Amino acid sequence: MKIIYVYDALCGWCYGFTPVMQQLQQQHPDWEFEVLSGGMILGDNKRPWSSMQAYILQAHKNVEEMTGVKFGDAFLYELLPSSQKMDSEKPAIALTVFKQYLPAKALDFAHDMQVALNFDGHNLIDDDTYRPLIARYELPVEEFLQKMQEEQTRYETQQEFQLVQNWGITGFPAAILDTGDQLYLCARGFAPLEKVQQTIDNILAESQNKQ
CATH number at residue 137: 3.40.30.10
Using only the alpha carbons of the chain, give its radius of gyration. Answer: 17
- Mean pLDDT, residues 129-147: 98
Count of domains observed in the chain = 1
How far apart CA 163 and CA 92 sit, in angstroms, is: 14
Report residue 192's pLDDT band, with 50, 70 and 90 as the boundaries: very high
Q: Which residues contact 82 (CB under 8 A, 6 or more apart)?
A: 48, 49, 50
Question: Model confidence over 110-134: pLDDT tens digits?
Answer: 999 999 999 999 999 999 999 999 9
Query: 176 lies in which domain range?
Result: 2-210
What is the average pLDDT across 183-204? 96
Taking a C-beta distance cutoff of 8 angstroms, is the pair 72, 56 a contact?
no
Q: What is the dihedral of CA 97, 99, 101, 106, to 10 degrees?
A: 120
